[in-house]
Amino acid sequence: MRNQAAQIYDQGLKSGRDNKVVPMTNLAQEGHVYHLYVVRINEASSMTREQVQDFLKEKGIQTGIHYPIPCHLQPAYKSLGYQLGDFPQAEILCEQILSLPMYPGIKSEDIAWVVEQISLI
């Protein structure tokens, strides 16, 4: 079910005209279980991730920021001595990624509504 939902998100978001909100690319050959459906609010957007999140919240769409701190800056890795700037791409992504609604039984109509609202950004 989640794979089907992710495919619907992928198709809807990839058909967007400006690609300000893009799905994350799945490079795993083994597949994906889509516990979360994560998108990137890229530099082409005039809105920050938080602004997009607020916009969607006003439309009744719940989102999440599940990874606000990159792995190398997590307390568990402090002993390794990594600092801000050591992995700039990870740090950028942590500021840009947003999780869209994804749960067992999510309806294609609900996904279409989310995609439609994102297209207004």
pLDDT at 17: 57
CB 91 within 8 A of CB 84: yes
Map out the domains of the chain as residue ranges.
2-119
In three-state secondary structure terms, 76 is helix
- Provide the sign of the torsion angle of the four alpha carbons 47, 50, 53, 55, taken in this order: negative
pLDDT digits (tens, 9 = 90+) for 9-51: 999 998 665 678 888 877 776 777 888 999 999 888 889 999 9
The residue type at 56: L
How many CB atoms within 10 Å of residue 56? 21
> pTM of the predicted model, to two decimals?
0.86
In three-state secondary structure terms, 36 is coil
Burial of 98 (0-12, 13-18, 19+ CB in 10 A): buried
Domain 2-119 has CATH 3.90.1150.10: yes
pLDDT digits (tens, 9 = 90+) for 52-103: 999 999 999 999 999 899 999 999 999 999 999 999 999 999 999 999 999 9
